[in-house]
Structure 1
Amino acid sequence: MPKEHDRDEQPAEAVRFDRVTKRYGDHTVLDGLDLTVGRGERVTLIGPSGSGKTTILRLLMTLERVTEGVIHVAGRPFSHMPGAGGSDGADGSGNLVPASERYLAERRRGIGMVFQHFNLFPHMSVLENVVEAPVHVLKEDRDEAAVRARELLGMVGLADKVDARPTRLSGGQQQRVAIARALAMRPEILLLDEVTSALDPELVAEVLDVLRDVARDTDITLLCVTHEMGFARDVSDRILMFDRGTIVESGRADELLDAPGHERTRAFLSAVR
């Protein structure tokens, strides 16, 4: 598959969390998180349920709002926007105020997400599911969007299913459609949230193989939450271990998985292997 982006045209920084805290009432899910993901980097987040991993993805998809701190995407404020006389420079200086819905809608177009559950439109064909968002959100020509959708469905091994309804597909096939749908939006950043957790075990491998192809053949920045340690090893430049809303350990995939330095990481890996 051709590369999606010319890396020289993009800032070196894809995502930066600057002292980001997320609370629900008295419960702190993320606690002053500092995290930078480079353009084209593949980062996997691991840790127990409730440790804050999925909250990071939900903040980037603007499904949640930060309580404190600022998220930057492509070198510009994302969770916030310039106020009167403010600056949106890469350093986040100036008078920043919480982002409006209009600002967020524009900025999140470069971010795609594949969820645990497929959320396909049951009344539409597979092809229509992939074409719908590029036409209505990106304002692409429908015929051109359909050509690209067929290419993407071929890439995920579903060229023969373009006219099928999602209900006629297996769970693994539906998730592959969801991956094609996310890629159809030409994302610069792709978020993966436990994308195999809703699948029967025999269907997991086919979805992970597709995502390995995406990691190998594109320059898309990947931010992934998974309990599939083999997949994390294969695709990750870096793995972050989370616990109680903070990063307890970070390192190269082979280093962290083979020789974790923190007792909490060792205990977690023993439990999931």
Structure 2
Amino acid sequence: MPTDTRPGDKVRFTRVTKRFGENTVLDGLDLTVAPGERVTLIGPSGSGKTTILRLLMTLERVTDGVIQVDGEPFSHMPAGAGGKLVPANERYLAPRRRHIGMVFQQFNLFPHMSVLANVMEAPVNVLGLDKDEAAARARELLGLVGLADKADAHPTRLSGGQQQRVAIARALAMRPGILLLDEVTSALDPELVAEVLDVLRDVAGSTDLTMLCVTHEMGFARDVSDRILMFDEGRVLESGPPEKLLDAPDHDRTRTFLGSIR
């Protein structure tokens, strides 16, 4: 089992494979993400993009290989002398998972709780923050996403775009070092997409978060990404800065994919 760690990397996948039965979704993936880097993952459905995010959220476990975060093993933990790594248990994962936030396709807000309470919930119950401090943080973040006036509303009274903006504030409330975005506009009506993407542009421009984003919104990817990776059949087909990969890709498969979504 590889044990190489590089403190300069925020995230490092070393020969990571993920299988579901006979289906190989990720095939020996090597991937590094630098601190503060914004990386967008594109490619057809089933190419492994969302699986990368789910592995980082520990919603899935690797089949082979190792994931490291902040220079330390993440998918695995040291056991015994000699630096041997074994699959991480929940006790090892719990404090490390707190530094990773994720915004899903579905909003998953608590409908019986106010917007403010939704954003406060994890900082109070997971981080142990005082309720006054958590409330102040939540109000600040609701201001950031343009919903300061909706703190006392319930999610059912909000539009889909507003609910997704609350979900972004909720993820940021944990003060993560890494923010994962999984097709965050795919469940929205087209006229609501722009408001969510504008908020995420503001987040990218005003924080030093490391961001991994799965999206089919190429305009957004161009605006916020330092690097775009094209996935196909569980592997990185090519990568590069937005202006190179989107405007002059090297591979026919990338050109075909980009043509299909424009």
- Category of TM-score, reference length = shorter chain: over 0.9
Q: Which of 71, 79, 82 is the equivalent residue of 1:75?
A: 71
In structure 1, what is the Cα distance between the partners aligned to 2:241 and 2:248? 10
Q: Which of 29, 33, 38 is the equivalent residue of 1:37?
A: 33
Structure 1 residue 185 corresponds to structure 2 residue 181: no
The alignment's TM-score, normalised by the length of structure 2, stands at 0.97
* Corresponding residue SS for 2:81: coil
Structure 2 equivalent of residue 122 of structure 1: 111
1:220-240 per-position Cα deviation (integer Å, ceiling 9, x unaligned)? 000000000000000000000
In structure 2, what is the Cα distance between the partners aligned to 1:109 and 1:31? 27
Q: Which of 60, 66, 88 is the equivalent residue of 1:64?
A: 60
Deviation at 1:12, TM superposition (A): 2.7
* Corresponding residue SS for 1:227: coil
1:243 corresponds to which letter in structure 2? Answer: D
Structure 1 equivalent of residue 223 of structure 2: 234
Q: Share of identical aligned residues, percent? A: 80
* Corresponding residue SS for 1:13: coil
Structure 2 equivalent of residue 47 of structure 1: 43
1:248 corresponds to which letter in structure 2? Answer: L
In structure 1, what is the Cα distance between the partners aligned to 2:9 and 2:205? 20
The alignment's TM-score, normalised by the length of structure 1, stands at 0.93
How many equivalent pairs are there?
256
Q: Which of 175, 179, 194 is the equivalent residue of 2:183?
A: 194
2:81 corresponds to which letter in structure 1? Answer: G
**Aligned residues: CA RMSD:** 0.6
2:200 corresponds to which letter in structure 1? Answer: L
1:134 corresponds to which letter in structure 2? Answer: P
1:16 corresponds to which letter in structure 2? Answer: R
1:184 corresponds to which letter in structure 2? Answer: A
Q: Which of 240, 248, 259 is the equivalent residue of 1:259?
A: 248
1:98-247 alignment runs, 5 A limit: 98-247=87-236
Deviation at 1:104, TM superposition (A): 1.0
Residue segments in structure 2 that go unaligned for 5+ positions in a row: 1-6
Structure 1 residue 84 corresponds to structure 2 residue 52: no
2:237 corresponds to which letter in structure 1? Answer: V
Q: Which runs of 4+ in 1 moved over 6 A?
A: none
Structure 1 residue 21 corresponds to structure 2 residue 27: no
In structure 1, what is the Cα distance between the partners aligned to 2:62 and 2:192? 35
In structure 1, what is the Cα distance between the partners aligned to 2:248 and 2:121? 45
1:41 corresponds to which letter in structure 2? Answer: E
Residue segments in structure 1 that go unaligned for 5+ positions in a row: 1-10, 87-93
In structure 1, what is the Cα distance between the partners aligned to 2:8 and 2:184? 27
2:47 corresponds to which letter in structure 1? Answer: S
Structure 1 equivalent of residue 4 of structure 2: none
* Corresponding residue SS for 1:58: helix
Structure 2 equivalent of residue 12 of structure 1: 8
